[in-house]
């Protein structure tokens, strides 16, 4: 596995050979999104994107918070901060491999937007999530409205943003905002989830993410054409043969099919 990398406010390590993990590391400030943390998050995501050995990315926080949102106490925040933040979240969404948010603590504002930029979200049952910006006359400005809409539908997205209220993890699970809710040992649950995905053919997992992320915004006819084009060309013959051999080794059913 690659060695861990330490940025000023983010740690990159590898809890499993094909699973990378980025940990927001400003526990004294609720892992809030300072300009330095946004810079470090971008660097960490870029490093993961450039590593061909990575099949899944986990994102979590240190201490009691996942991410408390923007650092409202930062005095010298550059004017480009919001665009830097948007770009960081876009980079996560555009990663070719799946990204999984492990919500280990309070997740508010920009922290919820960070989780929304991931493909999957797993949370401790004790945490809450929300987009409180409207309470002080603002709105989630780093993709929250559009990404939330696509997860929970228009009515619930409007309600969560217009009220600015936070919801417990159990309710987030009910409405499809998160995929799993666990009472304890979030890291272990996240690793099991990631290894389920890493077990599958990397080229097929990447193609799935690409097709679904693109297809959701396309007319059905165009999306189907994209499906056929990508699926017919994904993976080399050698990669496909290797995956069939793995399937045969794992399962007597596949052994009968491919023998």
The single residue of 18, 94, 113, 179 carrying the catalytic annotation is 113
Would you call 113 a catalytic residue per the annotation? yes
Two tokens at 249? 């080794």
Q: How far apart are CA 112 and CA 41, in angstroms?
A: 15
Q: How far apart are CA 189 and CA 12, in angstroms?
A: 19
Would you call 133 a catalytic residue per the annotation? yes
Name the nearest CA neighbour of 213 among 58, 90, 53, 123: 90
User: What is the DSSP pairing of strand 120-124 with strand 180-182?
Assistant: parallel
The single residue of 93, 133, 174, 239 carrying the catalytic annotation is 133
Name the nearest CA neighbour of 167 among 106, 235, 115: 106
Q: How far apart are CA 85 and CA 96, in angstroms?
A: 19
Annotated catalytic sites, by residue? Answer: 113, 133
């Amino acid at each position: 596995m690659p060695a861990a990398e330490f940025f000023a406010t983010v740690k990159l390590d590898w809890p499993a050979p094909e699973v990378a993990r980025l940990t927001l590391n400003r526990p004294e400030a609720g892992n809030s999104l300072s300009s330095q943390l946004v810079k470090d998050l971008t660097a960490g995501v870029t490093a993961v994107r450039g590593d061909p050995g990575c099949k899944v990315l986990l994102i979590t926080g240190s201490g009691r918070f996942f991410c408390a949102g923007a650092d409202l106490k930062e005095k010298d925040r550059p004017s480009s901060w919001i665009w830097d933040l948007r770009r960081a979240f876009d980079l996560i969404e555009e990663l070719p491999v799946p990204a999984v948010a492990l919500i280990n603590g309070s997740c508010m504002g920009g922290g919820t937007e960070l989780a929304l930029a991931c493909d999957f979200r797993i949370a401790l049952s004790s945490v809450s999530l929300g987009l409180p910006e409207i309470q002080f006359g603002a709105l989630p400005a780093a993709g929250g409205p559009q990404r939330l809409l696509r997860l929970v539908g228009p009515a619930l997205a409007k309600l969560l943003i217009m009220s600015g209220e936070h919801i417990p993890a159990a309710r987030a699970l009910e409405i499809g905002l998160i995929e799993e809710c666990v009472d304890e040992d979030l890291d272990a649950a996240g690793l099991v989830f990631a290894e389920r995905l890493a077990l599958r053919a990397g080229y097929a997992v990447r193609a799935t993410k690409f097709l679904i992320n693109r297809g959701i915004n396309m007319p059905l006819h165009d999306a189907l054409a994209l499906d056929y084009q990508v699926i017919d060309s994904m993976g080399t013959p050698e990669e496909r043969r290797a995956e069939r051999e793995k399937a045969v080794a794992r399962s007597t059913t596949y052994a009968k099919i491919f023998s």
